[in-house]
Amino acid sequence: MLDPAGAEPRSIPASPGAVFPVQRVGALMEVLLCSGFPSQLFLIALLTGLGMPVRTAGGELSPPFVFTLSMLDAMLVVGLVIFFLKRHRESPADVLFGRRPPVTEAALGIFLLPAVFLLVGLVLALILTYAPGLHNVTRNPLEDMLQNRRNALIFGIVALVAGGVREEVQRGFILHRFDRYLGGGALGLVIFSGLFGLGHVDQGIDAAIATGVLGALWGGVYLARRSIIAPMVSHAGFNLAQLVNYVALG
């Protein structure tokens, strides 16, 4: 298939035929390192060791700390993804963005937004109807940090970079590794969507479930399109819409 300029695109390397145990172990280590958990633990230890407080005097999470942690983690995870792909002589552009026209993928991401909000609303409604006990956090702890325009701007940047960009680069890479070395993209989608939801459990079990479902949706789009652009646009748009809602209602 020709690209929009009419030139024959480079093909993404085919999946290896025989996968050796050492390759699986190496891929698993790369997945773990790019999962976000080791990098955040390392950065939390580093920042607190440098004297940056995690919480304000009032006990809320410190916006400067969350912003610094999120930005550094985004740079670290994206850097690791690019490093590991190049180490395997894979093109980061091909693996993450594919060969489809970027404008088409971005438009798809915008088109997905109504479905994303509908899906979240449906999941939360079902939980409140049949398992109301899972709504165990009445107020999202992140809302306590949105007390002024400066903090709202800070979290707007976090929503775009740490949410829309970092998490979708991370998801695309991990699904790609599962697809090639660790049992298939579908298995990776189930496992990473569950972990993605668990990463938001501080916002409530119901929010964690809804987030895991969203992760599965965005991951499914990546596996179908082999591009993170649509999930990235959809994810960033969803995060920003939530932020605007919190500020407007607050």
How confident is the model at residue 171, as a pLDDT?
97
pLDDT one-digit tens code per residue, 59-116: 778 888 989 999 999 999 999 999 999 999 999 999 999 999 999 999 999 999 999 9
How confident is the model at residue 236, as a pLDDT?
94
pLDDT one-digit tens code per residue, 124-148: 999 999 999 998 887 776 666 667 7
For residue 250, name the pLDDT band (cuts at 50, 70, 90). Answer: low
pLDDT at 3 over 80: no
Task: Say if residues 196 and 73 touch (Cβ distance below 8 Å).
Answer: no
pLDDT at 34 over 90: yes
Q: Quote the pTM value.
A: 0.88
pLDDT at 152 over 90: no
Domain extents in the chain: 21-249
How confident is the model at residue 16, as a pLDDT?
54
How confident is the model at residue 12, as a pLDDT?
47
